[in-house]
């Protein structure tokens, strides 16, 4: 009888551990869903868009485009590839928001701009789009190329500088992930360029 009781206790212990593991897994899933804003990736390219103003975050994107002299299509391409239009998403590396910026990079941007630093601001669409667009334009100034600036946005300006010094070109980047990222960005950029051209309208009220 004592042996059976020990076995029963062992079974109960194993069952308890399994239940705890399941509970922890469910908690982790719930946290990820919450952090992602309980949203699936979204693409306006899959819908019939009749005018620019009906595009997600058009006001914020248009303002940033005017402010930093960059095409809306380029901003939308980054949003599409980086977050799938999920403002609350956070990557495994810790990048946050629509255009996915690391808090450490945001801290540097805030210091340069002389504004208070709060990493939670990266989840605010207007702040995220403005800050990340400015950063992308800084990378463009440093690299002299929009394609290289996108690679730097993904892989870091240090890697880009080293790759270029070593003679690599965009077509044979040593990082397959960087090559794939650039291909996705360029594809999205072309698609949004066509979409925005087809939905031209008076946007003066959005300046």
Q: Pick the closest to residue 205 from 69, 55, 63 (CA basis).
A: 63
Exposed / middle / buried, residue 92 (Cβ in 10 Å: 0-12, 13-18, 19+): exposed
Token readout for 39 is 């949203």
Rounded Cα distance between 2 and 27, Å, is 37
Rounded Cα distance between 103 and 139, Å, is 17
pLDDT in tens, the chain (207 residues): 545 454 555 544 444 434 434 333 333 333 333 344 445 688 888 777 778 888 999 999 999 999 999 999 999 999 999 999 999 999 999 999 999 999 999 999 999 999 999 999 999 999 999 999 999 999 999 999 999 999 999 999 999 999 999 999 999 999 999 999 999 999 999 999 999 998 875 443 333
Q: Which of 60, 72, 82, 90 is catalytic?
A: 82
In this predicted structure, what is the pLDDT of residue 151? 98
Look up 82 and say whether it is catalytic: yes
Q: What is the pTM of this model?
A: 0.78
């Amino acid at each position: 009888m004592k042996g059976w009781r020990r076995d029963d206790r062992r079974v109960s212990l194993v069952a308890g551990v399994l239940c705890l593991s399941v509970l922890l897994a469910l908690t982790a899933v719930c946290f990820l869903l919450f952090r992602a804003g309980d949203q699936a990736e979204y693409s306006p390219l899959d819908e019939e868009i009749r005018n620019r103003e009906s595009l997600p975050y058009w006001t914020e994107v248009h303002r940033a485009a005017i402010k930093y002299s960059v095409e809306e299509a380029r901003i939308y391409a980054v949003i599409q590839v980086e977050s799938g239009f999920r403002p609350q998403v956070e990557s495994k590396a810790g990048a946050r928001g629509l255009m996915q910026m690391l808090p450490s990079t945001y801290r540097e941007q805030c210091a340069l701009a002389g504004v208070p630093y709060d990493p939670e601001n990266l989840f605010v669409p207007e702040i995220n789009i403005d800050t990340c667009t400015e950063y992308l334009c800084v990378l463009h100034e440093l690299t002299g190329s929009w394609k290289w600036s996108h690679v730097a946005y993904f892989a870091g300006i240090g890697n880009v500088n080293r790759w270029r010094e070593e003679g690599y070109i965009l077509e044979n980047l040593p990082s397959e992930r960087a090559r794939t990222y650039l291909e996705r960005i360029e594809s999205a950029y072309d698609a949004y360029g066509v979409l925005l051209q087809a939905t031209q309208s008076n946007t003066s009220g959005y300046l």
